């Protein structure tokens, strides 16, 4: 990754996050399930069908964005929509093809993550504790920035 010694801590972190994002995109190209679709498949992996609004709320995305993403996944045969008797909103579920795509993508994704976890070695617990605290604070700050504070 090059010499990071001349960069500030924040610059080093930004560079590492960008590097991790490039690696994530590389893995995505291999398993051929777009990240937005994979997020939907992960969310629906609990077997519970959801409405567009529920998905939007859980993913903190605009409903129009979710509708577009669901439509793309539906066109690929990975998701389906149906209306329960008397229900005003359609429910979204994974299809068998979506379950297979999710399983294939998960194996590839987890293989790459396992390599990273292996590199952490004995510092595993400290790494996860620190990463969780970082991501939680980073998410809170991003949400605050989005709100204009």
pLDDT in tens, 52-93: 999 999 998 999 999 999 999 999 999 999 998 888 899 999
Burial class, 130, CB count within 10 angstroms (exposed 0-12 / middle 13-18 / buried 19+): exposed
pLDDT at 3: 61
The band of 25, judged by pLDDT with boundaries at 50, 70 and 90, is confident
Distance CA 79, CA 76 (A): 8
Distance CA 131, CA 104 (A): 26
- In this model, does residue 33 exceed pLDDT 70? yes
pLDDT at 123: 94
For residues 41 and 101, is the Cβ–Cβ distance under 8 A?
A: yes
Percent of the chain with pLDDT over 70: 96
Half-sphere exposure of 86 (CA within 13 A, CB side): 0
pLDDT at 2: 56
Structure tokens at 5: 């010694």
pLDDT at 149: 65
Structure tokens at 114: 């396992």
pLDDT at 75: 97
Distance CA 65, CA 52 (A): 10
Specify the pTM.
0.74
């Amino acid at each position: 990754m090059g010499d990071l010694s001349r960069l500030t801590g924040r610059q080093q972190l930004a560079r590492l996050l960008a590097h991790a994002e490039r690696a994530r995109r590389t893995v995505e190209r291999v398993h051929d399930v777009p990240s937005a679709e994979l997020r939907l498949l992960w969310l629906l992996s609990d077997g519970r069908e959801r409405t567009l609004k529920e998905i939007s709320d859980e993913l903190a995305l605009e409903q129009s964005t979710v509708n577009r993403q669901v439509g793309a996944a539906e066109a690929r045969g990975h998701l389906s929509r149906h209306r329960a008797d008397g229900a005003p909103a359609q429910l979204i579920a994974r299809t068998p093809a979506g379950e297979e795509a999710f399983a294939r993508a998960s194996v590839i994704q987890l293989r790459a993550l396992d390599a990273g976890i292996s590199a952490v070695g004995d510092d595993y617990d400290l790494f996860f504790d620190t990463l969780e605290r970082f991501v939680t604070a980073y998410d809170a700050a991003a949400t605050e920035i989005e709100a204009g504070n």
